[in-house]
Chain A
């Protein structure tokens, strides 16, 4: 005796959030049943193992059938096949597009290609995320990437509009798309300590300040139609960054800058001596990063450079986060007092991002 067929269809589609999560996490039906039973589901409604199995299979089938719609979430709202409340729709989409930080950290900055997809089993083994779930997350990245690639206008807005995601999730996807597009190196050992959220924050900073769209500003309609405006860095700006080199090549300027910073810092921090000793090195590091950004290769190494040229030296000198804040604030602001330096706007645009990125990245 065996169950040949077993279906349950509600006029309003019934979805259990717990089972949905198990499905998203790539559990097999058998494993999901085990997890549910261990979670005490049997205590509810005098259920037995058969009931839980039947329910789980049913839910899995429903999710599987809905998956097609989740690939273009806008369809979910005006399809007729499943009657799902708007609130439920939002949950379904949000959860479907949610990802594991551990997983995304592994593919961040990589090309979203078939080659990467082949490595997913390694990533699965490394992160403990099931292969099924890895595939879903990877496909989500790729899908979002492909859709926004062809769209004009602000990146986050486009993602939110096309995939009906929350603001937070849309921003995260924007970061992923931004990283994938610019192929930032994130996998080096020295960068391992950084979390996805660190990178996402930095991506946000870069998108908001260094791209073409950033100049146009949110109120400018003319420039809103520029393709890839939030994905590509502003070439003109990168060119202008070369002008900053004067800060390290002009010896007077460098000394003047140093003395201004040191005056301001004196007595305010325990690590003053190290700061004073390292000033020229650190400043060279930051300005060199800026000057090299016209090279695509160097853009990719942006984060590794930040860590190697600035964060690591500071860390070895045992700067505290407060020290870092103090130093960078004065380092940035002092330039305003240098009369001979003419590139204040470019400097601010550059250092604004660098400052917040370093603050975010300066931790263990």
Chain B
């Protein structure tokens, strides 16, 4: 009996009128966890009931605590007929299971009904008491922290980055069960919401188990997705990066320097409290003594789920799947070097091999979902690798005979629709593909890794992409806590400002033709002429001017087909789409006079009669890379004077655009000074390179050249219809209006002095294509206009924030129905100080700071972060074992009051897709927010049509996220994202249904200027903690 969950129902407000006669409601509440239900008394005739219930206590396994949500149902008592449900609140208990996160959940929650939306609010108090249990990690993984943030969370330090963790669970979709024909839409939606909540709880617990087995204590860059496969089921899958995190504090830094291995004992996050991380840390992992066996990271104990990718597993089930010829899928890679570094060459290679083997032996997939890293973690970046495959979703005919996994917690006795192994095998294939691409680029790891799917009827496109890279082995070794010590001896350190650009592959044995030059920054090693990555721009990278959002958009019609024919048609189209998207990106990059892309995300969405491709990235001019050449227009029939004239005008327009962009983005690369120490660049070579880049392809997509022959990517032939289209799209892309910048990465390269104004938003637009006989070109134009108009709308809406930058612009495209194109965007607008000077460059580490291990710079700051972080509270809980000891609670209360907005009783909760809030410091992570909602209506017209319906639903989702964060004691959500927004409508029936899945990290943050006052309030806690230190 490892846990006791306690809940108290305090009051309700703004309840809907349930009794027309009295205009009042007789409300009572059911509190359910697992199979236990408690009820409050009926509070008669009130829209603002005060139940003030007793504490309802549930004695449960911690496994259940992780899987199950607390379910609160508000009902209207009816003497003569059945009680009417007003709505429900699901509360995820997970944040309470981790000592470092929240200690109590208390606040007003919107009461949500899937048919009516939010109907009033309810005030609830929830606490958890976990008991010490020697056998505590049988099935549960309480205490493993989850972060959506794709960097090391602020205030933490990564002692070890263990690597990739993944898991998926499959179930039958309640919406497609026979019972759905007889139950109400409300019951069906609730069954679905509950199932998904259970599945994601289970998924998280399983991932947690894997992390514990790897010796980690946290998952960073946790990304969970749903695949609504319709008839064939529901897949919930997640990937993340397992880490051993340590709270940054003056104490821990000292400790790590002196006794790295005793650090856990004195470290806040390793407090040997009920979550019991101590044994994990004490565990002596065998890696140091002998070569670990392959797959040792995989769960092997009998109680664990079956190993997800045992290589021997036959993939015979998906006989009908038509596999894309994966060698055709582009392996986008623009390399950077370093392997041929003269002085450190042999040693480095040796080291890398060590790292590589260590990595490969320890885990099958050396992937990292992180997009930004502690300094010196990322050594070299090879380029983007991606893989796609087309699968046919096939219903398993006799699930009862298969490998069934029943969900004991479900209301009905269900069996899984499909073995998760089938899906596992699919993903394994893709990951292998990615891994081999990375290898071809001379890299041993993939960073900024992500996976996605696009499903249309029974066809599913699985995609994975990442950036091939070479990582610093120091972070990968277990028990390696000696950051900042003398581990640099092997390496001839590349300057951090350009090191990551240096090619990781062998110059003589390049995986693709590329133009290499000596690095423009250090002049010592080779760099490619263009670099594409899926990660954020490293904080220390040298950049010239500002960055900009670059998007390539593409539509391709396809014939309607069924089954394998359809799958084959799609897989045949894919490489061409990727190639064209890539060409577009390259052209747009050149047009902006930039040489690198960060945060590249290529989505391909499948519909019944078309494929949509959208590639978004942030273009930058990396100082280390050569200046990009221009774009040349060539005619196929030289000599024709009218044609010549036409080409000249277009060429002029392009040149003008390039010049204008250079000015706009302030790209004035410093002139190369020839006295650079030991510059090995021979002058003529440089010339020729610059010259050649105009005329010769450096396109790495050599495998795909079959589509365009030997044509140069940067010489656009005007006779070619595709080229006309390209030029058209090049020149129609409008730059943001004055005062605006935009990017899809965390922050805008070149802007460092953010002010505190932020506005997160979600926008959805759906176009109906009424014209049935559209051409590819026409479709492209429509799609491009759709994206461009969305951006224009954002700029217009947010014009009062100027100067501002739209950050983390995340476009998601879908083809929800034939002839419909849906684009959903989530982004944040952030204001910045216009009068920024280049000297501010040094300060840029501060907003990005927290995670850096750069002690020199960070030490004083971390010191004050420490005084304000939650260390004291966890220290106390060590000694008292009382989860909600009075002191931390008192402190959080004082925080809450300082947060509360003058007079208003509602806590202001900021939301951002970024990992930080400008002008503030995150002092505590309260846990992950992962919510799934369904909303349905049978009165679409009355709710203002689909727009009105979705508008209020999105607003409701925001409200529920904010309420949960506020109840945890938080005041912000970072790394917020909307993974899914699936809208189905039937205007003729006046119906619509929508599913939204959102996630993020709940945090407490304080304004940087408030730091001092806060430090004083925590001094008491601090002195207490030091006394407990003595006792422990």
- What residues of chain A have their CB less than 8 Å away from a CB belonging to chain B? 1-14, 44-48, 50-52, 54-55, 57-58, 61-62, 64-65, 75, 77-83, 85-86, 89
Known contacts A48-B792, A61-B951, A78-B904; decide if A83 and B958 are in contact (CB<8 Å). Answer: yes
A9 & B955 in contact (Cβ 8 Å cutoff): yes
Are A64 and B944 touching (Cβ within 8 A)? yes
Asked, given contacts A44-B799, A80-B118, whether A9 binds B947 with beta carbons under 8 Å apart, the answer is no
Who on chain B is nearest to A89 by CB? Answer: B904
What's the Cα separation between A50 and B904 when bound, in Å? 37
Q: State in angstroms the CA–CA spacing of A318 and B118 once bound together.
A: 65
Contacts of B901 in A (CB 8 A): 85-86
Known contacts A5-B947, A45-B740, A58-B797; can you find 12 more A-B pairs with CB under 8 A? A2-B770, A4-B768, A5-B765, A5-B822, A8-B797, A9-B958, A10-B760, A11-B761, A11-B962, A51-B793, A62-B951, A64-B948
Q: How far is the CA of A12 from the CA of B962 in the complex (A)?
A: 11
Across the interface, which residues of B come within 8 angstroms of A4, CB to CB? 766-768, 820, 946
Residue of B nearest to A65 (CB): B952
Within 8 A of A (CB), among B908-955: 908-911, 944, 946-948, 950-952, 954-955
Contacting pair A80 B770 (CB below 8 A): no
B959 touches A8 (CB 8 A): no
List which B777-802 residues lie within 8 A (CB) of chain A: 782, 789, 792-799
Assess whether A3 is in contact with B765, with CB atoms less than 8 Å apart: yes
The smallest beta-carbon distance between B397 and chain A, in angstroms, is 37
Q: How far is the CA of A1 from the CA of B763 in the complex (A)?
A: 19
Closest residue of chain B to A86 (Cβ to Cβ) is B904
Could you say which residues of chain B place their CB within 8 Å of the CB of A11?
A: 759-761, 909-911, 958, 962
Complex-state Cα separation, A5 to B952, whole angstroms: 13
Chain B nearest CB, measured from A91 CB (Å): 14
Closest to A2 in B: B768
Contact B761 A9 (CB under 8 A): yes
Q: Which residues of A contact B955 (CB under 8 A)?
A: 9, 13, 65, 81-82
User: Per a CB cutoff under 8 Å, which of A5, A50, A80, A82 touches B766?
Assistant: A5
Q: Residue of B at shortest CB range from A5? A: B766
Compute how far the CA of A61 lies from the CA of B950 in the bound complex, rounded to whole angstroms.
Answer: 11
* A77 vs chain B, min Cβ distance (A): 5
Partner among A10, A50, A77 whose Cβ is within 8 Å of the Cβ of B905: A77
The answer to whether A65 and B959 touch across the interface, beta carbons within 8 angstroms, is no
B902 adjacent to chain A (CB < 8 Å): yes
B266 CB → nearest A CB, Å: 39
Q: Which of B762, B796, B906, B909 contacts A78 (CB 8 A)?
A: B906
Size category of the binding interface on chain B: 35 or more
B799 touches A45 (CB 8 A): yes
In order of increasing CB-CB distance, the 8 nearest A-B pairs are A5-B766, A4-B766, A9-B954, A11-B760, A8-B763, A7-B951, A10-B761, A11-B911
Contact flag A81-B946 (CB < 8 Å), given A12-B759, A45-B737: no
Contact indicator A61/B956 (Cβ below 8 Å): no
Query: Most chain-B Cβ atoms within 10 A of its Cβ — which of A8, A46, A62?
Result: A8
Closest A-chain residue to B909, C-beta based? Answer: A83
Report chain B residues within 8 Å CB of A65: 944, 948, 951-952, 955
* Cα of A62 to Cα of B958 in the assembled complex, Å: 14
Contact partners of B947 in chain A: CB under 8 A: 5-7, 57, 61
Chain A residues with CB under 8 A of B761 = 8-11, 14
In the bound assembly, the distance between CA atoms of A81 and B955 in angstroms comes to 6
Cα A75 to Cα B15 with chains together (Å): 12
A8-B797, A10-B759, A80-B906 known; A61 and B118 CB under 8 Å? no
Q: In the complex, are the beta carbons of B110 and A81 less than 8 A apart?
A: yes
8 contacts between A and B (CB under 8 A): A7-B765, A45-B792, A52-B796, A54-B793, A65-B948, A77-B903, A83-B906, A86-B903
| Contact residues in B for A52 (Cβ distance below 8 Å) | 796
Q: Is the CB of B769 within 8 A of A1?
A: yes
CB of B983 within 8 Å of the partner chain: yes
Taking a contact as CB atoms closer than 8 A, the residue among A13, A46, A77 that contacts B737 in the complex is: A46
CB-nearest residue of chain A to B757: A12
Are the CB atoms of A9 and B763 closer together than 8 Å? yes
CB pair B903–A79 under 8 Å, yes or no, is no
Closest CB of chain B to A121's CB: distance in Å? 25
Interface flags, B835-876, vs A, CB<8A=1, else 0: 000000000000000000000000000000000000000000
Cα-based distance from A13 to B121 in the complex (angstroms): 20
Cβ of B110 and Cβ of A51 under 8 Å apart? Answer: no
Residue of A nearest to B951 (CB): A7
Q: With A2-B767, A8-B761, A65-B951 known to touch, is A51 a contact of B789 (CB < 8 Å)?
A: yes
A13 CB, min distance to chain B CBs, angstroms: 8
- Whether the pair A7, B792 counts as a contact (CB closer than 8 A) is no
Proximity bits, B211-242, A CB within 8 Å = 1, else 0: 00000000000000000000000000000000
CA distance A351 to B291 in the complex (A): 105
Compute how far the CA of A179 lies from the CA of B905 in the bound complex, rounded to whole angstroms: 35
